Each structure stands twice: as C-alpha cells, then as structure tokens.
Amino acid sequence: MKIKYFVFAFALLIGIKTTVKADEGMWVPLFIESLNYQEMKEMGLKLTADQIYSTNHSSLKDAIAIFGRGCTSEVISDQGLLLTNHHCGYGQIQAHSSVEHDYLTEGFWAESMEDELPNPGLTATFLIRIEDVTAKVLNEVNDDMTEEERYEKIRSASDELKTQATDGTHYNAMVRSFFEGNEYYMFVYETYNDVRLVGAPPSSVGKYGADTDNWMWPRHTGDFSIFRIYTDKDGNPAEYSEDNIPLKPRHFLPVSIAGVEKGDFAMIMGYPGSTQRYLTSWGVKMALDISNQTVVDVRDKKLKIMMEDMQADPAVRIKYASKYARTSNYWKYFIGQTKGLKRLKVYDKKKALEEDFRNWVGQNAQREEKYGEALDLIASAYDQISKYEKVRIYQREAIMRGSEIIGFAADFSDLKRMLGEDTEQEKIDAEIQKLKEEAVDYFKDYNLPTDKKLLAAMMEMYHKNIPADQQPDYLKEINKKYKGDYDTYAEKVFDKSVFTSLESVNAFLDSPSAKKIDKDPAYEAAKAFNNFYVQELRPQTLDAYDKLDKGNRLFVAGLREMQPDKKFYPDANFTMRLTYGQVLDYYPADAVHYNYYTTLEGVMEKEDPNNWEFVVPEKLKELYNEKDYGPYGEGDVMKVCFLTNHDITGGNSGSPVINGRGELIGLAFDGNWEAMSGDIAFEPELQRTINVDIRYVLFIIDKYAGAKRLIDEMKIVKTRVKPNKEMVEKTEEEPAAVEN
C-alpha cells in the first residue's frame, strides 16, 4: 500500500438500481453489536459479536496486532507465529540482507526456531480494550474557549485517563479523537518487543509486479512474510533474549484452505491509518491544485536518482530497496488519487452536500447559532493554508526526507544543546552512545554518492519551485554563491561535513564540540531550513488550522444531526476497525469486466526475464509445469489473489481477511487503481480490496520453500463456510455499465 476519505456513497450508475450492497465503513469494534451485527449475520457471519470483540474472553481482536509502526498482522498459531505482508516486513528483510546473503532476492526461511532472526526496534502491539471517554475528556470544555484552551483541557484530561488506565501495569494507552473532535475513545494496548523474522519469499514472489502492478488489478503478488513473537518465561513482553519463549496467544486464527467463491461473506480487522471522508470541497480543491502534484514531483525526482544508482550496483540496490519502496508507494498513489477525484467529480459532489448543509442550517435559528459559522471557518482557513501548502510539502519531502545527511545532522541538535549548557556528563555520555548506535544503523544503508545527488537535486527544486519570500536566506545565499550550480554546492557540503561516514562521526563523538556541530555545513542547512519554517512560515497558518479544527468539528456534528437515520463511522486514525463485505468482481469501465481472482497462470503470462519486476523463479515455474500444488490448488489451478469490496486504507496492509467462522482466507495488501480517490470518497461499485489467497501463501511456504514445519504449527480447516444463498443470488446479477 499500499491499501489506501466519509459516509457519502457516490453512485456511479446512471438511472439504475444497484443490486450489490456498498460495503462502506471502517467500524469501531466496540459498537459492532449495536450497529452492524444483524446485517453481518444476514450476509453470512456465523460468530457472535462477542466472539469478534470482547474484553472478558478470547476473541478475534486478540489475534490482530499492529506490526511495527504502520501495518497490521495476525497470529496464526499457538506458538506466536505472525503473518503480515511482504512489503510490511520489507525493512526487516532488507536489514538482514547483504550481497552475500541477499534475502530480498533469494528469500529467507528459518529451519528452526533457533534460526529465526531478531529485529531490534520491531514491535507487535495488541489491543486490550476500548473505552468511550468522551464525557470525561470534554468535561471541562466549553464553547467560549479558544481552540488552544480547548486543546489544553483535552490533553490534560487525556493524560490523566491514560495514567489511570496503565498505572501499575505494563500496558500503554492512548486517547484518540473521533468525528473531528466530537467524541473521544481510549485504547489500551500490550506491546511485545521481541519479534523475529521466520520466513519471507523472494521478492520475485512477494513483490512480483513491483511498481508497475502497484495499485493494479489483475494482481499476482504473493505479498506475505512471517514473524514470531517471543516473551519471557512467564509470558510477558520482554526485550530480546536467547531465553525468551514463543508467545502463547489469547487467540489465533485457524487457516482455511477451502477457498473462496464470488458472493462469500468476508470481513477484515486491522488498523487503517488515515482517511478524510469528511473532507470539504476546499480540501479537495487544495489536493487537486497543490498538494498531490507537489508530492509527485518531488518524489519522482528522488526515485529516479535512487533507481539509477540501484541498477548500477547490487550493494546500493540492497541498501536502498526499502527506501525506494516507501517513496514509490505514495508517489503512485497520489497520481491515481488525482485522476479519481477528477473523473468522479468529487469536488462538485462535495459542493452539493455543503449547499444542502447550508440550507438545512438556515431553516432554524438554533441551528444557525450552533452551526452557522462552520463552512465559513473552513473556507477562510483553506484560503490561508493553501498559500503555504507547497512550501510545507517541500519542507517535508525535499528537506527532511530528501538528502539523508540533512536529517541525520539535525539529530545532533540535542547533543549541541547539552554541550552548550551546564549538562551533567552522564547525560551527555548517554546521548553520545545513542548517536553512535544510531550511526551504525544509518550508515549500513547509506550510499554517499546517491545522497550527494539528492542534496543537489532537492535544493535546486526548492529554489526553482518555491516563491522567493518563502525561501530561507540560506538558500538564496548558496544559490548566489554557487551561481545556481547545486552539484558544486553539494560537493562542498560533503567535503567539509563530519556526517558523511561512520568513521568521521565516531571520531567526532569521541571529542564532541558544540561549535563544530553548529559550523558543520550539513547541520547549517538543517538548522537554516528548520528555523525558517518553524519561526517564519508555520506561524502564518496556526490561526488558520485552529479555524479549520473548529469548522470541521461543527460541520461533522451538524451532518450527523442533519441525517439522524444514517449509521455514521469515524475517519480512520490507526485504531482497530472492522469492515465487512463480500468476495466480488467488478466492472471498471464500459465493456470491461474483471474476475474476482487471479491464478498462477497469470504469473507465467506476465513473465519477463529482462524486467526485474516480472522475473519468475525457476522453482516456481517447475511447480507450475508439474501442477504440483498439493492441497492448496483447485485441480490444475493455483489461485493467487482475490477481490473483496471492503473499505480499507493504508495501515490495513497485512490485515487478515476472515470468513464467517473466523478463519483466515487471505491477507489484504492493496487497493485498485479505479478507486484511488477512496480515502476521500468511497466508491461502492468500483472500490475493491486486493488480497493474496491464503492458499497461495501456504503453497509458497510448503511446496516452494519446503518450510512444512510452519504449516504443521497452524490449525488447517478444509470445509467451506456455506454462504447466505440470498446474498449469492444478488451478486450473480450482472450490473449495468458504469459511467466512465
């Protein structure tokens, strides 16, 4: 996501009645029983609501974990075996790779638990419970407060609640805003710190199709990797130790090899990152006119520089593989989102909704008093924010995420401050040790010539594309000094900086000096851009963001009051959600039909030995030619991926696709190109989730990798869930052509 804003379903059919339900909604599990359970049951759910989410006994939620800092994973054995996407585990696979042991290219399979590889910093986090704390958080808030005063009251109340919930435990908690600050919920978590790499297919399986197929259907990617959670001898979270033992989970998912068919009920539980379904027309306009293309332009340049060096040197390819993948994913996403927003006329539909809202508000003096300023606040806010949106993106994408030497140098600001103050030597020594450890990881995946090119390119783009009054004097001065020759500028920075190699950094840290940090050219650049942005640019939009917060809060509250019979769900914010729907095909355009599954035959049809994105391993070709699929195929057919009409987004990567009995049938890993505007506007007839079939996952583990010990850990289920006959009959009806 690869998988990537509210509750307005925009019909795409012209003058016809749809026959398939639009399965929109990222639902908070706490409310499944009251909001969704009956409908889910009618569609084919066999579990009780309590078996999905419970704080009193084992339930599905106990098998679902946040993987690292941005993906979802699921436990699939009673020994803590953890399944997620290949692209979610990509950073760990890359970190263990070298030219001699290229696990990215060759794959990795631990032959025993003793061979499973530790991953410092990687965590798996489970939800313990959810609490509605709205009344407590807003207890001291009133309408006469400024937004800053409101925020401080909310922060103070939230901190107190988190302390009360975790005091005397090893749990952690967070209080999150829902419905634009109208409701608040607390989430209590348990985090495990010893998560080891167990297995990963080669990138020719786990990343098959790479950038070309990203966000596309048909898809033929075995996007999975396997880890294991370890605990101390008492089953508690612990840092890595050889004495640790596999996790005994509260719940794990049985694995179904019975297969899926069109119309089957399915649900996804996971951690969707961020949506903007309540985004107004002004926000859509800013995305179309400024934000999206700016991200695309900057990332396009970075990707070309990285790829050139990656193709020239295998060592650089390994070092930059994960960085390139992270940069590329949303580069392509924003291209697709812009096209989708325009094609589906989302701006016009938002304007129409806002006009309905104004009319509704104007019908009643009390509504006018309560909600009358909402849209005017939002409009005024965007008028100011849009003036600084491009430079905001450049600060993030070109400076702090551009050339790595800038961000790395900025990490030494705390040490510089300590050295310049009367700080205890013990604290200084601790900071030095931390920086030395960070430097080892940093330089392991660093190529100086590539970063030098990035520095020159990012500075040049910033100078050419950002208005002069939004550029720091530093940039104007170097442009004048070097007469626009940013390559020469970059050479000088790298010649004089101490932040260019592990050896020079360690030598400096052995005898650190605040003056030397301050005079370092890489640190000078970081300080100049950051100070200018924080002190000069960001203050220009602070009041506007306060207006936007208040306007959005009033607008969403008003919408919910305006439509009292509608079941509303909150935007995604990387908290656990459930979405449900069916296995389903779709019609992306006039006279075009996409089947709901792909097969291994399609992998072979796409093969191109001269294109790294479509190389097929010889072993896989042998298994295909022999039709040696074991119990995972359907006769001579090996299914690879399938579609569902679930509502997901980034963060759902690695989420389990679960059948009506609570069994694992696949892993969600992407969305489809035709619905790229889905984070802002759900598209019921087009929106699809791309999932890797769990049978293909098991086939690769067993027949391709020979890692049957992992299969033996799992609880394999062979019988199909009988679907709801009425729902199947509905999905068998062929829909009319959609508007293109």
Helix (H) or strand (E) holding 593: strand 592-594
Structure token pair of residue 213: 């197929």
The angle, 0 to 180 degrees and rounded to 10, between the axes of the packed helices 473-481 and 448-465 is 110
Helix (H) or strand (E) holding 328: helix 314-343
Distances (CA, A) of 726 to 265, 271, 652, 730: 12, 31, 29, 6
On whether the CB atoms of residues 209 and 614 are closer than 8 A, the answer is yes
Distances (CA, A) of 523 to 49, 530, 536, 661: 55, 10, 19, 57
Structure token pair of residue 36: 């969704």
Which residue, among 558, 631, 207, 560, has the nearest Cα to 358 in the 3D structure?
558
- From CA 364, how far away is CA 367, in angstroms rounded? 5
- From CA 629, how far away is CA 601, in angstroms rounded? 13
Sequence-ordered list of residues with C-beta below 8 angstroms from that of 402, at least 6 positions apart, any chain: 298, 302, 454, 455, 457, 458
On whether the CB atoms of residues 471 and 479 are closer than 8 A, the answer is no
Helix (H) or strand (E) holding 462: helix 448-465
- From CA 252, how far away is CA 76, in angstroms rounded? 5
Which residue, among 363, 164, 126, 411, has the nearest Cα to 248 in the 3D structure?
126
Q: Which of 223, 451, 693, 702 is catalytic?
A: 223
Q: Respond yes or no: is residue 143 known to be catalytic.
A: no
- Amino acid identity for residue 697 in this structure: V
The answer to whether the peptide bond before residue 218 is cis (omega within 30 degrees of 0) is: yes
Distances (CA, A) of 251 to 78, 90, 655, 663, 666: 8, 26, 16, 12, 18
On whether the CB atoms of residues 578 and 27 are closer than 8 A, the answer is yes
Q: Which of 87, 220, 251, 646 is catalytic?
A: 87
- From CA 617, how far away is CA 311, in angstroms rounded? 20
Which residue, among 210, 196, 201, 205, has the nearest Cα to 317 in the 3D structure?
210
Q: Which of 328, 653, 655, 677 is catalytic?
A: 653
- From CA 653, how far away is CA 3, in angstroms rounded? 6
Q: Respond yes or no: is residue 473 known to be catalytic.
A: no
Q: Respond yes or no: is residue 87 known to be catalytic.
A: yes
| DSSP H helix total and E strand total for the chain | 31, 22
Which residue, among 591, 32, 23, has the nearest Cα to 266 in the 3D structure?
23
Helix (H) or strand (E) holding 345: none
Structure token pair of residue 74: 């699921």
Helix (H) or strand (E) holding 349: helix 346-362
Catalytically active residues are 87, 223, 653
